[in-house]
Amino acid sequence: MVAKNFWLGILLGVLAVILFSSKAVMIKLAYNYDVDAITMLLLRMLFSFPFYVVIAYLYRNKNNDIKNTKKEYYWVVFLVWLVTI
């Protein structure tokens, strides 16, 4: 079982490197068609959204014993506000 998880980790790592590297190539190819940066950002977010939904669905019941405090929620709100400035 440990060896199987090890090779699965290696496979996922290699896949992540390939996909991350190909992102720049795809963006450069898209700019040849006079696409603005906002549209490219929107497409990138739309393509990644289903992956986040699947990850959230798979991990929805994990770590139920972790409790967030009010202070942590305040930090989240502050950091989101800081990023949106």
Taking only the tens place, the pLDDT of each residue in 5-29 is 889 889 989 998 988 888 788 888 8
Evaluate if pTM is beyond 0.75: no
What's the number of domains the chain is made of? 1
Domain of residue 42 covers 2-84
pLDDT digits (tens, 9 = 90+) for 29-44: 888 888 888 888 888 8
Angle at 15 between CA 63 and CA 60, to 5 degrees: 20
Angle at 17 between CA 84 and CA 1, to 5 degrees: 110
- Phi then psi for residue 25, to 5 deg, are -65, -45
pLDDT digits (tens, 9 = 90+) for 64-83: 677 888 999 999 999 989 98
